[in-house]
């Protein structure tokens, strides 16, 4: 079990963040252990078909037999949504002793795979060479495996953060942590992460906690090392819808009246939904959705109501009639 002591200052500085590099490293787990990630089976098959065998061997070496990841390759985000290149810059600056520590910890108690054993050589030069090789490799892998899907992935992650922020606002830390994952317990200022290979306690000491949703996480997971500041990756909501096909076109009559984007929105709004979720489902930006929603609201086809930090939209009675007649 791993635990974090979080005082009032830590809770005040608890923030969410989106980490492209965390998604890169988490996706390597899906390649390594597909049984734990059934939602990503089709994505995995497509990636493996185009992955260079030499790259695949080195990528596989970055995941331990217990699926542990080296902490230096999952750095705590310094901002809400750093770019991959910003995070790789942090990786390149990792001290040699930290690289060795994290690679050995991820593979313990087994020895390092042959592809990584150069870091055990004397001096810092072999580690510096490996860091450059890894950063170049992760950049290539990102461009091939995740970048084509990143706009949609980011919308899913942002929708999760919106939901969690509302929980924190309405129910405090206890409600927030209770819903992140079943291996988390919040008790008297201490966040317990159960079913972990490590056993240590980390004092927040005013550094705050970073909460990072991931579409490639099967449980809530803190850093492996007790020396790292408090951070927790957790399974993001909506992963099951990530690879869903785009909505089918609406009936010709309704589409001819409203146009394809607005008729599709009207169909989706049979249930209350925020702008960010509508954008995620349609694969467009929230600003594009907002423009159409303003028109639908001004014409009385949708209603809106504020729920915490967001506005929920839903078909009005007039919109219901129009949608029903348009689908005949």
Q: What is the DSSP string of 74-115?
A: SPPPSSSS--HHHHHHHHHT--HHHHHHHHHHHHTTSPPPGG
Among 62, 78, 60, smallest CA distance to 70 is for: 62
46 in a structural domain:
yes
Residues 261 and 150 placed together within one structural domain of the fold: no
- Alpha-carbon span 203 to 7, nearest angstrom: 9
Of 208, 239, 270, the domain-final residue = 239
Which helix (DSSP H) or strand (DSSP E) does residue 313 occupy? strand 310-315
Residues 88 and 113 placed together within one structural domain of the fold: yes
pLDDT in tens, 215-228: 999 999 999 999 99
Q: What are phi and psi of 48, to 5 degrees?
A: -65, -30
Helices in 142-200 by DSSP H: which ranges? 150-180
160 in a structural domain:
yes
pTM assigned to the model = 0.77
57 in a structural domain:
yes
Residues 24 and 120 placed together within one structural domain of the fold: yes
Residues 91 and 147 placed together within one structural domain of the fold: yes
Q: What are phi and psi of 184, to 5 degrees?
A: -110, 140
Using the predicted structure, report yes or no on whether residue 59 has a pLDDT greater than 50. yes
Structural domain boundaries, residue 281: 252-326
Average pLDDT over the chain, rounded to whole? 90
Choose from 165-169, 213-217, 237-241 the range with maximum mean pLDDT: 213-217
- Alpha-carbon span 155 to 274, nearest angstrom: 12
244 in a structural domain:
no
- Residues facing 314 on adjacent strands: 303
Residues 42 and 189 placed together within one structural domain of the fold: yes
Secondary structure of residue 220 in the 3-state scheme? coil
pLDDT in tens, 246-272: 555 445 666 667 788 888 888 889 888
246 in a structural domain:
no
Buried b (16+ CB within 10 A) or exposed e, 222-244: bbbbeebebbbbbbbbbbeebee
Of 210, 239, 268, the domain-final residue = 239
Residues 10 and 67 placed together within one structural domain of the fold: yes
| Region 222-242 average pLDDT | 91
């Amino acid at each position: 079990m791993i635990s974090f002591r979080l005082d009032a200052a830590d809770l005040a500085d608890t923030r969410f963040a989106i980490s492209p590099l965390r998604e890169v490293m988490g996706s390597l787990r899906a390649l390594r252990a597909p049984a734990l990630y059934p939602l990503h089976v089709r994505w995995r098959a497509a990636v493996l078909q185009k992955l260079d065998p030499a790259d695949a061997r080195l990528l596989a070496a970055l995941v331990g037999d217990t699926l542990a990841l080296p902490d230096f390759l999952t750095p705590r985000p310094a901002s809400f949504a750093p770019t991959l290149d910003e995070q790789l810059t942090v990786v390149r600056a990792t001290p040699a002793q930290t690289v060795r520590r994290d690679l050995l910890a991820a593979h313990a108690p087994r020895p390092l795979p042959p592809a990584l054993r150069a870091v055990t050589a004397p001096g810092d030069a072999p580690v510096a060479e490996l860091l450059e090789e890894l950063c170049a490799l992760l950049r290539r892998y990102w461009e091939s495996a995740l970048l084509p899907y990143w706009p949609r992935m980011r919308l899913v992650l942002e929708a999760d953060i919106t939901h969690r922020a509302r929980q924190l606002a309405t129910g405090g830390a206890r409600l927030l942590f209770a819903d992140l994952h079943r291996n988390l317990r919040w008790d008297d200022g201490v966040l317990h992460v159960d079913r972990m290979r490590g056993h240590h306690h980390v004092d927040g000491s005013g550094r705050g906690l970073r909460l990072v949703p991931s579409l490639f996480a099967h449980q809530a997971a803190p850093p492996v090392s007790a020396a790292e500041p408090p951070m927790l990756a957790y399974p993001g909501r909506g992963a099951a819808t990530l690879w869903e096909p785009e909505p089918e076109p609406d009936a010709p009559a309704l589409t001819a009246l409203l146009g394809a984007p607005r008729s599709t929105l009207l169909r989706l709004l049979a249930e209350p939904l925020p702008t960010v979720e509508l954008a995620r489902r349609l694969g467009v930006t929230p600003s594009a959705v907002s423009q159409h929603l303003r028109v639908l609201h001004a014409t009385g086809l949708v209603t809106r109501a504020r729920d915490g930090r967001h506005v929920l939209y839903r078909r009005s009675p007039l919109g219901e009639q129009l949608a029903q007649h348009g689908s005949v």
